[in-house]
Structure 1
Amino acid sequence: MKGLYRRANTRFSDMVRDKSLRTSWKRKMKEREEKQRTKSLALQLQEQLKQEKEEKKQRREKNLKQRQENERKAEIVQVIKNPAKIKRMKRKQLRRIEKRDTLKAIHSKSS
């Protein structure tokens, strides 16, 4: 029972007091603003990463398309006018044959 009572020689100001559970309005608004700022910054960073990823994807597609176009230009093409030649070809030669639209190639060269 001794510990329950306050000693006579201690002052009220010397007592250890807990902080109140309530926060001030200014502090609450400051915290809310800070939270909002960090949220917007995170969204901005996410958007930036998304945009960079999209640009990288487009660049990759463009490079792939350019590469395929260059391969087509570098190809050596021989038009088979006589279909009977195909019948006489061996399997290995037949595997190398690819069907293409030759009219498209002719029009692109002439223009």
Structure 2
Amino acid sequence: MYNRTAPYSSFQVAGTLYMNNYYLVDGIYPDRACFVKSLFCPNDHKRLKFKRAQEKVRKDVERAFGALEKRWHILKYPTPYLEEKKMSEAMYTCIILHNMILKDE
């Protein structure tokens, strides 16, 4: 986002159009408008439900990526000279191969 290479994204919530991406993160990230952290102490049912859903999704993504990193070296130590498109293709390739291996086992 800082060097203007983030992908363009827009979405609408309750009639309001948002033009920037946002990322679900945990407490170690700095305070930025694009980082949505889990609520520290939710004070009503809706906020508590959001906090639980956000933490569940983040945990699922971290586990899935951890499983892929164990199996595929390129994901654990990505090469800095690969462009974004090539890294995206490598990621999809690893996911497909991982799923094929699980199905075969």
Does the TM-score normalized on the shorter chain lie above 0.5?
A: no
Higher relative CO (Cα under 8 Å, sequence separation at least 6) belongs to: 2
The alignment's TM-score, normalised by the length of structure 1, stands at: 0.28
Higher strand share: 2
The alignment's TM-score, normalised by the length of structure 2, stands at: 0.29
Higher helix share: 1
